[in-house]
């Protein structure tokens, strides 16, 4: 009986591994092989080994295209991601702290509003009108505010779930010692939120960095180009350079891939701890 269960577990693990390879590894391998081909070979879109490995040459062409447009795009994406994630973590942690500690109708109404932000899709045209009215349309500051508004509901949900595992007695002890509410939050609560904060940082930074429609609608302009929008450089209605397009995808994929490799344990820890204790 035990041997049968062991074999069943092995088959389930093997099946899961095969599915993961098909879903994740095979598409990335196709992108990598196409990015390493010449333009005539890449235009056939075949899953085949290139006759000549041109990956580094194609990546160099992508980076130097149109006066190093990719470098400007990566810089804009870095500013957008860092600014957005910093505000998301700070504001979401403050809101989650208040919502978790308060038990009244106002907190319930704000919680419902945050939940609605996860369900209701964003409206593009009204957002454009709002940004134009306050003079932040086509600016990185305006785009950062949009990303913060889109990501805060998820961040509040994660941080609030994790914050439920922190006893209220810690807050009360700090208040008795003379700490103000902000002092309690920054000196006592925020350090305890480290696993959840790391989870929010990694997940939201990848989401902001990979955002394509946001900068397309709210951040037009050649000087405001982001990493995802550089995909337009190598495709058009009648002509597409598939080798350079997939090389662009490889370049854009490297930063979030490195982040996930370094922080995958913290992501799992933050999500599971908040889910179990909350």
Local confidence pLDDT in tens for the 278 residues of the chain? 566 666 666 777 778 778 877 877 888 889 999 999 998 888 888 888 888 889 999 999 999 988 888 999 999 999 999 999 999 999 999 988 888 887 778 777 877 877 777 788 888 889 999 999 999 999 999 999 999 999 999 999 888 888 888 888 888 888 888 888 888 888 888 888 888 888 888 889 989 999 998 999 999 888 889 999 998 888 776 778 899 999 999 999 888 888 777 766 666 665 555 444 44
CA distance 251 to 261: 16
The span from the CA of 217 to the CA of 125, in Å, is 9
DSSP H or E run through 99 = helix 55-101
pTM: 0.83
**177 DSSP assignment:** T
C-alpha of 49 from chain center: 32
**Does the 70-277 domain belong in CATH 1.10.1300.10?**
no
Other beta carbons within 10 angstroms of residue 26's beta carbon come to 12
Residues 6+ apart with CB under 8 A from 171: 101, 184, 188, 189
Three-class SS state of 97:
helix
How many whole angstroms separate alpha carbon 255 and alpha carbon 245?
17
């Amino acid at each position: 009986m035990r041997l049968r269960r062991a074999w069943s577990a092995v088959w389930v693990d093997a099946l899961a591994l095969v599915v993961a390879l098909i879903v994740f590894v095979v598409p990335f391998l196709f992108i990598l092989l196409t990015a390493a081909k010449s333009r005539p070979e890449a235009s056939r879109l075949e899953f085949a080994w290139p006759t000549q490995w041109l990956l580094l040459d194609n990546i160099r062409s992508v980076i130097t295209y149109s006066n190093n447009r990719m470098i400007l795009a990566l810089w804009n994406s870095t500013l957008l991601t860092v600014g957005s994630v910093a505000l998301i973590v700070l504001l979401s942690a403050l809101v989650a702290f208040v919502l978790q500690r308060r038990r009244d109708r106002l907190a319930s109404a704000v919680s419902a509003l945050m939940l609605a932000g996860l369900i209701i899709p964003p409206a593009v045209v009204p957002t454009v009108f709002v940004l134009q009215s306050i003079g932040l349309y086509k600016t990185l500051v305006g785009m950062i505010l949009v990303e913060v508004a889109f990501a805060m509901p998820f961040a509040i949900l994660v941080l609030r779930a994790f914050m439920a595992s922190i006893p209220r007695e810690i807050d009360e002890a700090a208040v008795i010692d003379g700490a103000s509410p902000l002092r309690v939050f920054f000196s006592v609560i925020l350090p305890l939120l480290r696993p959840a904060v790391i989870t929010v940082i990694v997940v939201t930074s990848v989401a902001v960095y990979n955002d394509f429609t946001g900068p397309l609608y709210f951040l037009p302009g050649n000087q405001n180009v982001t990493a995802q929008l550089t995909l337009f450089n190598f495709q058009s209605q009648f002509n597409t350079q598939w080798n350079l397009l997939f090389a662009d995808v490889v370049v854009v994929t490297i930063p979030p891939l490195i982040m996930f490799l370094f922080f995958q344990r913290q992501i799992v820890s933050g999500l599971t701890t908040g889910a179990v204790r909350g």
